[in-house]
């Protein structure tokens, strides 16, 4: 199993190789999900800044006010010259990037058929789930796990990638870089409009100076892990 990878094997390895999502319509819609404290808004800012450095139009719609730990956070991000609204219509996101596995299912309806899902394997059970067990410890309760998340996603798309982003972030030298690990995985896709170098420049500009090197290492580790999986079925770019 490739480094940093956990969970079920990505499906689609037997599919014919193709350019990837949305390369024909001139825009790319990315739905991002996570919980408060995982750096989702920073990730959105890094992509937006990289888009500006690349003279691309990037429009985002971010949910604020739930920055406490375990609060659900979502970001709509669309890239393309004709994009006017940040909101992604249901069923039309080209990719879903999730910093927490269970949050993936909360926004699964946005992913289009055949889109790409990049998921952190970390599971953080919300209190709405754990409270049932606390109320009645003898009741037959079973927490939702990563395998069930992947199983449901694979009813929408064969292109599902799970990464142990925390393990890769630790290897990069900073456990707070999980978000950048997943960004590295996303930029491997040739269909993702923003190339790697502007993303690296944006990271250098937007993270604290003392954390830049660790974030750049996290970016590379995420990209390397994704290349070992996605490039079997989807077109990838050189990094």
CA distance 186 to 223: 7
pLDDT in tens, 152-170: 999 999 999 999 999 999 9
- Pick from 172, 168, 186: nearest CA to 223: 186
Q: So what's the pLDDT on residue 5?
A: 41
Alpha-carbon Rg for the chain in angstroms: 17
Q: Which helix (H) or strand (E) holds 46?
A: helix 40-53
- Tracing tokens 């580790």 back to the chain, one arrives at 221
Which residue stretches of the chain have pLDDT < 50? 1-16, 18-20, 23
**8 Å CB contact between 33 and 106:** yes
pLDDT in tens, 186-226: 999 999 999 999 999 999 999 999 999 999 999 999 999 99
């Amino acid at each position: 199993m490739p480094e940093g990878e956990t969970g079920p094997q990505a499906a689609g390895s037997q599919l014919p190789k193709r350019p990837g999502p949305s390369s024909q319509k001139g825009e790319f819609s990315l739905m991002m999900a996570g919980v408060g404290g995982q750096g989702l808004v920073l990730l959105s800012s890094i992509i937006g800044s990289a888009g500006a450095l690349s003279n691309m139009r990037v429009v985002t719609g971010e949910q604020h006010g739930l920055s406490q730990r375990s609060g659900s956070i979502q970001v709509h991000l669309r890239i393309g010259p004709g994009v006017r609204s940040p909101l992604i219509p249901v069923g039309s996101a080209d990719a879903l990037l999730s910093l927490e596995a269970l949050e993936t299912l909360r926004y699964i309806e946005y992913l289009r058929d055949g889109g790409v899902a990049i998921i952190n394997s970390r599971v953080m059970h919300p209190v709405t789930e754990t409270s049932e067990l606390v109320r009645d410890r003898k009741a037959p309760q079973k927490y939702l796990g990563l395998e069930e998340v992947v199983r449901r996603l694979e009813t929408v798309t064969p292109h599902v990638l799970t990464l142990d982003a925390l393990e890769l972030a630790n290897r990069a030298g900073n456990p707070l870089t999980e978000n950048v690990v997943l960004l590295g995985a996303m930029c491997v896709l040739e269909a993702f409009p923003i190339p790697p170098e502007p993303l690296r420049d944006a990271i250098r500009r937007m993270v604290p100076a003392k954390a830049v090197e660790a974030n750049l290492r996290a970016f590379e580790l995420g990209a390397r892990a994704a290349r070992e999986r996605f490039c079997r079925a989807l077109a990838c770019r050189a990094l």
